[in-house]
Amino acid sequence: MEDNWTGTSTVPSRGLYPHQWSWDSAFIAIGLRHLSPLRAQTELETLLGAQWGDGRIPHIVFNPSVPLDAYFPSPDFWRSSTAGRAAGAPRTVQTSGTVQPPVHALAAWLVHRADPGLSRARGFLAGVYPRLAAWHRYLLHRRDLGGAGLASVVHPWEQGMDNSPCWDAPLARVAPAPARSFRRADLDHGAPEDRPTDLDYGRYVRLATDYRDGGYRDGGYRDGPGAGGAFAVEDPAFNALLIASEHALADIAGELGATGTARRARAERLTGVLIERLWDPARGMFFCRDLRGGGLVPERGVSGLVPLLLPTLPGEVAGALVRTLSGPHFGDGTRLVPSYDLRGEAFDPHRYWRGPAWFNTGWLLERGLRVHGERERAGALREAMLDTADASGFAEYVDPYTGEACGAAGFSWTAALTLDLLE
168 tagged catalytic: no
Coil vs helix vs strand at 228: coil
Q: How far apart are CA 82 and CA 352, in angstroms?
A: 33
Piece of 15-23, 219-227, 229-237, 327-335 that binds ligand 9WN (CB under 6 A): 15-23
Catalytic hit among 162, 194, 255, 290:
162
Alpha carbon 179 to its chain's center: 27
Q: How far apart are CA 369 and CA 121, in angstroms?
A: 34
12 binds ligand 9WN (CB under 6 A): yes
- Identify which of residues 260 and 301 has a Cβ nearer to ligand 9WN in the complex: 301
User: In the stretch 184-203, what mask flags binding to ligand 9WN with x, by CB under 6 A?
Assistant: --x-----------------
The distance of closest approach from Cβ of residue 119 to ligand 9WN in the complex, given in angstroms and rounded to an integer, is 26
Catalytic hit among 54, 396, 399, 420:
396
390 tagged catalytic: no
Residue 317's CB is within 10 A of a number of other CB atoms, namely 21
Determine which helix (DSSP H) or strand (DSSP E) holds 129, and give its type and residue range: helix 124-137
- Identify which of residues 160 and 284 has a Cβ nearer to ligand 9WN in the complex: 160
157 binds ligand 9WN (CB under 6 A): yes
Question: According to CB under 6 A, which one of 97, 102, 160, 228 is a site residue for ligand 9WN?
Answer: 160
The DSSP annotation for 265-298 comes to HHHHHHHHHHHHHHEETTTTEE--EETTT-SB--
Cβ contact 277:234 at 8 Å: yes
Piece of 130-138, 154-162, 264-272, 312-320 that binds ligand 9WN (CB under 6 A): 154-162
251 binds ligand 9WN (CB under 6 A): no
**Phi, psi angles (nearest 5°) of residue 216:** 55, 30
Question: According to CB under 6 A, which one of 54, 162, 246, 299 is a site residue for ligand 9WN?
Answer: 162
39-98 residues near ligand 9WN, rule: CB under 6 A: 59
17-36 residues near ligand 9WN, rule: CB under 6 A: 17, 21, 23-24
The DSSP annotation for 334-357 comes to -SS-BSB-TTSTT--TTSTTSS-E
Determine which helix (DSSP H) or strand (DSSP E) holds 397, and give its type and residue range: strand 397-398
Cβ contact 78:95 at 8 Å: yes
Active site residues: 162, 396
Question: Binding residues for ligand 9WN, per CB under 6 A?
Answer: 12, 17, 21, 23-24, 59, 157, 160, 162, 186
